[in-house]
Each structure stands twice: as C-alpha cells, then as structure tokens.
Amino acid sequence: MNSLTEEERLQLHAQHKKKRDKRICDRIKAVLLYGKGWTFQEIAEVLLLPNEAIRNYTDKYRALKKLRPKSGSSVEKLSSNQSRQLEDHLQAHAHLYVKDIVAYIQLTFKITYTIRGIRNGLQRHGFSYKKLAIEPGNADQQQQKE
C-alpha cells in the first residue's frame, strides 16, 4: 500500500477538500501520508491518534477503499405501509420538534426511535426543517401598514 497511484492521490485530495467530517478527513490524511511512506507511528503522532487506529484506517482503505467510520445506517424499523402512513401524517401535521415525531411513532406503531435516527430517516425521505416565521399575537393591522 505504500504507493498510491496519482489518480488515487488526486481523488483523495479532492475528497478531503469537500468533506466536513473531521473523522473522515483524518482517515484521508492517514492514507495519503502512509502512501508517501510515513510510518504508522509518525502518522499517529501528527494526527494525535493511536497507532492501531492508523493501521485500521490504512488496512480498510487498502481492502475496501473505505473511509467512512460506519458502513451505514441500521435496518428500517417501520414497514413500507407504516412508513407511508407516517409520511401522510407528516404532510398533514407540522411538528415543531423531532421529539414529537418520535412520540407519535411510539404511540402509533409501538416502535422506539432515537431523535437522531428519526432526523436522519426524515432527511433520507426528503423532509427538511423549516423554521416557522414568528408573528406577533395581537398585531394591529393599521399600525403594520404604516
């Protein structure tokens, strides 16, 4: 693995510029430095990470071209019918907080989710958070026009 192709090196540099996740950036730096001939100990010292972590990063990249910390999210707990029912509910009812959606799922389907899990699932299904506009409770229309 001590030698990366020029194409791999350029691809890793481009990925490093785009990524916001510090963990993935550290993995990319470890692979690039190892490709330049640095030892695990030298890389670990520079990145302030354990030697074994650097070894794991480079081994996983060599074997699987893997840079992400996890392989992906867990299996969907809701059936496709339940998922459709949840989407219909969310289209009809605006929830201010994700914790309210978690409570709705718990009450309706008897399935427990974490707030983070629901937030990620909603993003995968195309939902996004939009901050509500604040309106005064007792607005005087005449004063507003002036």
Please provide the distance, in angstroms rounded to a whole number, between the alpha carbons at the two ends of the chain: 72
> How far from 17 is each of 10, 26, 46, 126, CA to CA, in Å?
11, 12, 19, 26
What is the per-residue pLDDT across 56-81, written as a single tens digit (0 to 9) for each? Answer: 999 999 988 888 877 555 677 888 89
User: Is the whole model's pTM more than 0.85, yes or no?
Assistant: no
Average pLDDT over residues 109-125: 89
Instruction: Give the list of residues 6+ apart from residue 31 with CB closer than 8 angstroms, or none.
Output: 4, 12, 57, 58, 61, 67
> How far from 37 is each of 34, 60, 106, 111, 144, CA to CA, in Å?
5, 17, 53, 50, 69
